[in-house]
Amino acid sequence: MRILLFLLASLGLKACVQSPPSEFEIFVEQHPEQSFDLLIQGGEVIDGLGEEAYPADILVSADSIVFIGLVDTTLVSIRRIINAEEKTVTPGFIDMHSHGNPLETPDFQNFLAMGATTISLGKDGSSPNYEDLGEWMQLVEDTIPGVNIAMFVGHGTLRMQSGINYSPRPTEGQLGLMGDLLRKNLDAGCFGMTTGLEYIPGFYAPAYELEYLAEIVGEEGKLITSHVRNEDNNEVETSIQELLKQGQYCLVNVSHMKVVYGKGKNRAEEILKLLGEARQAGVQVTADVYPYTASYTGIGILFPEWAKPPNNYARVVATRRAELEEFLRDKVNSRNGPEATLLGTAPYAGKTLAQLAEEMNKPFEDILIDDIKPGGASGAYFVMNDTLQSRFIADPWVMISSDGSPTSRHPRGHGTFARIVEKFVVQDSILTLTEAVRKMTSLPAQTMGIIDRGMLAVGKKADILVFDPQQVHETATYENPFQLAEGMDYVIVNGEISLENGEFSTQRYGQMLRKQ
């Protein structure tokens, strides 16, 4: 069993190792000026790096961890002590792919309740419409969010800002302007760029555009994380290969990796082999995945490219309606039928396309064309295979992400990290707790380049969880997606207690993170 011993001379700490060597006791010499803000005492520490748990106390001063070991509380002054006996102590979870608007819903209690102390925004190619995201980040910083936020700049947003819009052949001048905007935002502290190639305008981006931008991202030592062009079973390898070509220039990550319509462990192995061979060839590639078999996105994903901007939808309906009806009918039926599409936007929220068709007494394709339309709703789509996705979750290079937000009608936004602990660790033993924690802490931190979080070590920021894994529960469902997860005894953000035994602090303690 391993105990980390850190001697902090500046704090006047001293250590004494007693025999036998496997047993350590730390004596902290009292000094009048030596006081600490928080002691987490008696817990089993999982450091986030994949090592086995070990018993230790953790001392926190201001927003940082200053000591890990065994502490004699009679020899130090401590403002607050948390009794962590029979509890697990881990780093706060880091959400590799998340959504939300910190200027509108800054509390982010949905993330805190399931142990996520850091989230990443600007995903799927879309970021706030600021040419200088540094200005937006300052607004967020002034707001003080409930969680830490790592920001990415969206490729689709850059396309619109640079005037490329929906063009499939950007000019050299347009590429230069987009590259300048990208550099400005990376220099402002963004952690990289995201692409959403299944969505417009990213759908129109040619390979030379993406590789040009990847070279800039690589020069800055940052990351591209991508919603690849097509996640369907017959297209996903080609789509991942497109991202791997960008990986010649920079780190790359497959966002919310899935195989739509694919089934079985062997199919998952084929995708993982593709990524493994790329790593052997020198490409630094990772992936993230959420633990659900339904995706969630705008209803436009069901419509053909020729019925979405910049095309005139009304004209398409007037001139190509029969073709559009056939396309939508075939598309929805290939995605497990209208009962497998659950709408999440009022006035349709909570109803499937099949239910709407019965209630409205007309075909679901006509409801899509006339009532909902390409931008009229979002929904959950039950298009994934549990065995396949679970194999992804078990892979050591795959991180956990929620792809959720405080407001989306999908349980992943309120349940993801609790579900990993409850189902994949405690119930099904697909992951050990130490490996699950690594996938939710140090691996995303290392992938994004967050150097001061994601592990429990002296000098790291004090984003810390205290919980009993047996008591962690996901309560969100598809029918009631906004129910908070349960079981986190303490959630500590930057050294401050944000959640204590089900009660949230009235203050927020998150920070706007920047990677320079």
- Secondary structure of residue 137 in the 3-state scheme: helix
| Sequence-ordered list of residues with C-beta below 8 angstroms from that of 262, at least 6 positions apart, any chain | 233, 236, 268, 384, 385, 388
Q: What is the pLDDT of residue 3?
A: 31
197 and 137 in a single domain? The answer is: yes
492 forms beta bridges with 464, 497
Q: Report yes or no on 199 lying in a domain.
A: yes
Contact 287, 253 (CB under 8 A): yes
Contact 70, 56 (CB under 8 A): yes
Nearest CA among 40, 22, 310 for reference residue 168: 310
Q: What is the pLDDT of residue 9?
A: 30
Do β-strands 285-289 and 223-227 pair in parallel, antiparallel, or remain unpaired? unpaired
Q: Indicate the helix (H) or strand (E) that contains 464.
A: strand 464-467
Give the residue from 66, 86, 106 where a domain finishes. 86
Q: Report yes or no on 1 lying in a domain.
A: no
What's the token pair of residue 19?
């025999």
Q: Report yes or no on 184 lying in a domain.
A: yes
Q: Report yes or no on 515 lying in a domain.
A: no
152 and 263 in a single domain? The answer is: yes
245 and 126 in a single domain? The answer is: yes
287 and 305 in a single domain? The answer is: no
Cis peptide before 201 (omega within 30 of 0): yes
- pLDDT tens sequence for the chain (516 residues): 333 333 333 333 433 222 222 333 343 443 334 789 999 999 999 999 999 999 999 999 999 999 999 999 988 899 999 999 999 999 999 999 999 999 999 999 999 999 999 999 999 999 999 999 999 999 999 999 999 999 999 999 999 999 999 999 999 999 999 999 999 999 999 999 999 999 999 999 999 999 999 999 999 999 999 999 999 999 999 999 999 999 999 999 999 999 999 999 999 999 999 999 999 999 999 999 999 999 999 999 999 999 999 999 999 999 999 999 999 999 999 889 999 999 999 999 999 999 999 999 999 999 999 999 999 999 999 999 999 999 999 999 999 999 999 999 999 999 999 999 999 999 999 999 999 999 999 999 999 999 999 999 999 999 999 999 999 999 999 989 999 999 999 999 999 999 999 999 999 999 999 998
Nearest-angstrom CA–CA distance, 373 and 371: 6
Nearest-angstrom CA–CA distance, 149 and 471: 27
Nearest-angstrom CA–CA distance, 298 and 423: 28
Nearest-angstrom CA–CA distance, 102 and 27: 43
60 and 199 in a single domain? The answer is: no
Give the residue from 28, 57, 86 where a domain finishes. 86
Nearest-angstrom CA–CA distance, 152 and 179: 15
C-alpha to C-alpha distances, 68 to 4, 73, 453, nearest whole angstrom: 6, 14, 15
Provide the residue count of the chain.
516
Residues spanned by the domain of 397: 93-293+384-450+459-469+484-509
Nearest-angstrom CA–CA distance, 283 and 245: 9
| 192 torsion bin: left (phi>0), alpha (psi -120 to 50), beta (else) | left
Total tally of structural domains belonging to the chain: 3
Contact 155, 250 (CB under 8 A): no
414 and 502 in a single domain? The answer is: yes
Q: Indicate the helix (H) or strand (E) that contains 314.
A: helix 313-334
Give the residue from 59, 86, 113 where a domain finishes. 86
Contact 239, 227 (CB under 8 A): no
218 and 284 in a single domain? The answer is: yes
Q: What is the pLDDT of residue 516?
A: 85
Burial class for 303, CB neighbours closer than 10 Å (0-12, 13-18, 19+): buried
Nearest-angstrom CA–CA distance, 403 and 121: 10
What's the token pair of residue 15?
């250590």
Q: What is the pLDDT of residue 1?
A: 32
Q: What is the pLDDT of residue 68?
A: 96
Nearest-angstrom CA–CA distance, 58 and 452: 16
Question: What's phi and psi for 66, nearest 5 deg?
Answer: -115, -10
Q: Report yes or no on 479 lying in a domain.
A: no
* Residue for token pair 């130490």: 434
354 and 415 in a single domain? The answer is: no
CA dihedral 289, 295, 300, 305 (to 10 degrees): 50
What's the token pair of residue 251?
């780190």
Q: What is the pLDDT of residue 483?
A: 98
Cis peptide before 347 (omega within 30 of 0): yes
Q: Report yes or no on 124 lying in a domain.
A: yes
Q: Which amino acid is at 425?
A: V
Q: Report yes or no on 140 lying in a domain.
A: yes
Q: What is the pLDDT of residue 34?
A: 79
Contact 205, 308 (CB under 8 A): no
The CATH number of residue 65's host domain is: 2.30.40
Nearest-angstrom CA–CA distance, 352 and 340: 7
Q: What is the pLDDT of residue 150?
A: 98
CA angle 406, 182, 118 (to 5 degrees): 30
Q: Report yes or no on 476 lying in a domain.
A: no
